[in-house]
Copies of this chain bind each other. A is one copy, B any other.
Amino acid sequence: MIKQPRFKKAILTALTMLVSMSSLMLPAQAADDNLVAVRGSFFDFTDDPWKHIGHEEESARFFADGMLVIDNGIIKAFGPYSEIVSKYPKAKVTTIQDRLILPGFIDGHVHFPQTRVLGAYGQQLLPWLQQWIFPEETKYKDPTYAKEGVKHYFDNMLAGGTTTVLDYGTAFPTAVEAFFDEAGNRNMRVICGIGGIDRNVPKTFMTPPDMFYTESKRLIEKYHGKGRNLYAITPRFAYGDSPELLQKCSQLHKEFPDCWVNTHISENPTETRSAPLEHGVRDYLGCYEKYGLVGPKFVAGHGVWLSDSEYARLSKAGATVSVCPVSNLFLGSGLFRLGRATDPNSRVRLVFGTDMGGGNRFSMLSVLDQMYKVGMCNNTMLDGSLDPSRQDDSAAERNKLNAYRAFYSLTLGGAQGLYLDDKIGNFEPGKEADFVVLDWKGGPPATAWHQSLICDRPTTMDQAASLLFGVYSVGDDRAVDETWIYGKRQYKKGK
């Protein structure tokens, strides 16, 4: 990094002060006529709750009566209503009552071309790909089907409160173009790329490495950084990728270093054993390290069977694991070790994901429900009752997905995992105004009476957090009442 000359720094400091003063002291400007604002109960995060074990509330913010001011999609101000309203008297205010407003959910691992085949019966990873997934994804060669598919997909995402996704395209550029075009229509912050695969799959599904390179490059130039679209170089998974294909990924990564790299790692035991053999390395992560892909913006899905050595290397590299418990249970892949991944000695960046269609639900609230359960099951192994030599109380505590850890993971934590926390993840001014409006009574009929045990309406952070736990432990996607994208409401339940 180039050192900043002193005088430049002084000017910057002065400018920053002026900006701060103006927002504190000056009356609202004429431009305020374009401002929109939302008044309601807001809950977001400013830090990682795993850094505040036992005091997780220190990582969060709650304004029972808060106000969010938005200027052309960007958050301009945020805080208690009484403080904010006087500064923006001309903003057009929408009041949302009896709801909790959170930053939009981030789904860090999802396959849009599997929208129709989610929840398919009965196979572990490899045969399930052959029987269900590849045939459905092949339909997306047809632009008409692709267009229909991505519409269903984004409708489902918005209905689940998800506003940002890191997505897998198929091998076919048509599908990825349909995806980016539709995301653009809806003005959503998304990352996607062509899924490269040229081994251990049906021939019709293979992309020759040269074509993968050419098409990836074409789509990067067409979409990356256009509107809110971003591109991920996507080697689908090392078991399905030849050294030549991974070499092309490496080349793209060097040419376009600000693109993401999105892939799979250590999902299923059989695949975890096979992948390193294919690439002549010691473990699964080694397949990607060999081609220089592992670093910031490298996101690898699942990580159920990661070794301690791989965790340490991921942590050091600033790389990210996408955590997909719904899928891991549905395909019987195994139990993700959340307590291990959040070990402060080698904390790994995480983003949670549905892995729809390996995951059988679109809703990130289902991901929380299932991650909670996976954590609890892991703890049966860690409490010493089965094997005293494995007792680890601190990992067991970290495995427990309380409401702070849960919603941090779907918002700020996910944004940090995707290196998007300068743009999304909480209500800091300057970030993009994507958010979800939760009805804490929404869910199966049992939800309302359960939540009434906590309070009628939250006035403290503790009450709000307790209601939020109920939103995924008793409620479900029916809790999502509205979803806002870039300052505009794009989904309203029942409409």
Minimum Cβ distance to chain B for residue A473 (Å): 3
A residues 158-175 near B (Cβ < 8 Å) are 159-160
Taking the complex as formed, is A402 at the interface, i.e. its CB lies under 8 A from any CB of chain B? yes
- Are A373 and B329 touching (Cβ within 8 A)? yes
Taking the complex as formed, is A453 at the interface, i.e. its CB lies under 8 A from any CB of chain B? yes
Taking the complex as formed, is A361 at the interface, i.e. its CB lies under 8 A from any CB of chain B? yes
Interface magnitude class on chain A? 35 or more
Taking the complex as formed, is A369 at the interface, i.e. its CB lies under 8 A from any CB of chain B? yes
Minimum Cβ distance to chain B for residue A124 (Å): 7
Taking the complex as formed, is A446 at the interface, i.e. its CB lies under 8 A from any CB of chain B? yes
Most chain B CB within a 10 A radius of its CB, from A116, A332, A361: A332
Taking the complex as formed, is A273 at the interface, i.e. its CB lies under 8 A from any CB of chain B? yes
Taking the complex as formed, is A334 at the interface, i.e. its CB lies under 8 A from any CB of chain B? yes
Taking the complex as formed, is A379 at the interface, i.e. its CB lies under 8 A from any CB of chain B? yes
Q: Interface readout for A34-66 with B: 1 if CB under 8 Å, 0 if not?
A: 000000000000000000000000000000000
Taking the complex as formed, is A5 at the interface, i.e. its CB lies under 8 A from any CB of chain B? no
Indicate which residue in B120, B156, B469 contacts A121 across the interface (CB closer than 8 Å).
Answer: B469
CA A202 to CA B450, docked complex, whole Å: 23
Q: Could you say which residues of chain B place their CB within 8 Å of the CB of A269?
A: 380, 383, 385-386
Taking the complex as formed, is A362 at the interface, i.e. its CB lies under 8 A from any CB of chain B? yes
- Are A377 and B449 touching (Cβ within 8 A)? no
- Are A363 and B444 touching (Cβ within 8 A)? yes
Taking the complex as formed, is A270 at the interface, i.e. its CB lies under 8 A from any CB of chain B? yes
CA A469 to CA B116, docked complex, whole Å: 14
- Are A373 and B330 touching (Cβ within 8 A)? yes
Minimum Cβ distance to chain B for residue A139 (Å): 10
Q: Interface readout for A457-495 with B: 1 if CB under 8 Å, 0 if not?
A: 000000000000110011011000000000000000000
Taking the complex as formed, is A312 at the interface, i.e. its CB lies under 8 A from any CB of chain B? no
- Are B380 and A333 touching (Cβ within 8 A)? yes
- Are A330 and B376 touching (Cβ within 8 A)? yes
A residues 351-386 near B (Cβ < 8 Å) are 356, 360-363, 369, 372-380, 383, 385-386
- Are B402 and A450 touching (Cβ within 8 A)? no
Q: Could you say which residues of chain B place their CB within 8 Å of the CB of A335?
A: 377
Q: Could you say which residues of chain B place their CB within 8 Å of the CB of A375?
A: 332
CA A161 to CA B115, docked complex, whole Å: 27
- Are A385 and B474 touching (Cβ within 8 A)? no
- Are A273 and B385 touching (Cβ within 8 A)? yes
Q: Could you say which residues of chain B place their CB within 8 Å of the CB of A332?
A: 373, 375-380
Q: Given that A329-B377, A446-B156 are contacting pairs, would A400 and B122 also be in contact in the complex, using a CB cutoff of 8 Å?
A: yes
Minimum Cβ distance to chain B for residue A478 (Å): 8
- Are B329 and A156 touching (Cβ within 8 A)? no
- Are A383 and B152 touching (Cβ within 8 A)? no
- Are B361 and A450 touching (Cβ within 8 A)? no
Taking the complex as formed, is A275 at the interface, i.e. its CB lies under 8 A from any CB of chain B? no
Q: Could you say which residues of chain B place their CB within 8 Å of the CB of A469?
A: 119, 121
Q: Could you say which residues of chain B place their CB within 8 Å of the CB of A374?
A: 329
CA A277 to CA B376, docked complex, whole Å: 26
Taking the complex as formed, is A289 at the interface, i.e. its CB lies under 8 A from any CB of chain B? no
- Are B115 and A473 touching (Cβ within 8 A)? no
Q: Could you say which residues of chain B place their CB within 8 Å of the CB of A444?
A: 156, 159-160, 361-363, 476-477
User: Which chain B residue has the least Cβ–Cβ distance from A453?
Assistant: B116
Taking the complex as formed, is A280 at the interface, i.e. its CB lies under 8 A from any CB of chain B? no
CA A257 to CA B375, docked complex, whole Å: 43
Q: Could you say which residues of chain B place their CB within 8 Å of the CB of A476?
A: 444, 476
- Are A360 and B124 touching (Cβ within 8 A)? no
- Are A121 and B361 touching (Cβ within 8 A)? no
Taking the complex as formed, is A84 at the interface, i.e. its CB lies under 8 A from any CB of chain B? no
CA A270 to CA B477, docked complex, whole Å: 35
Taking the complex as formed, is A331 at the interface, i.e. its CB lies under 8 A from any CB of chain B? yes
Taking the complex as formed, is A155 at the interface, i.e. its CB lies under 8 A from any CB of chain B? yes
Q: Could you say which residues of chain B place their CB within 8 Å of the CB of A363?
A: 444
- Are B380 and A122 touching (Cβ within 8 A)? no
- Are A474 and B152 touching (Cβ within 8 A)? no
A residues 277-334 near B (Cβ < 8 Å) are 329-334
Indicate which residue in B116, B386, B446 contacts A362 across the interface (CB closer than 8 Å).
Answer: B446
Minimum Cβ distance to chain B for residue A95 (Å): 27
Minimum Cβ distance to chain B for residue A103 (Å): 22
**Other CB < 8 Å A-B pairs besides A118-B474, A121-B473, A124-B379, 10 of them?**
A119-B470, A124-B376, A124-B383, A155-B445, A156-B446, A329-B377, A332-B376, A332-B377, A332-B378, A335-B377
**10 pairs from A and B in contact (CB 8 Å cutoff):** A118-B474, A122-B400, A124-B379, A124-B380, A156-B445, A269-B383, A332-B375, A332-B379, A333-B380, A360-B473
Q: Which 5 A-B pairs give the minimum distances between C-beta atoms?
A: A332-B376, A119-B473, A329-B373, A119-B474, A269-B385
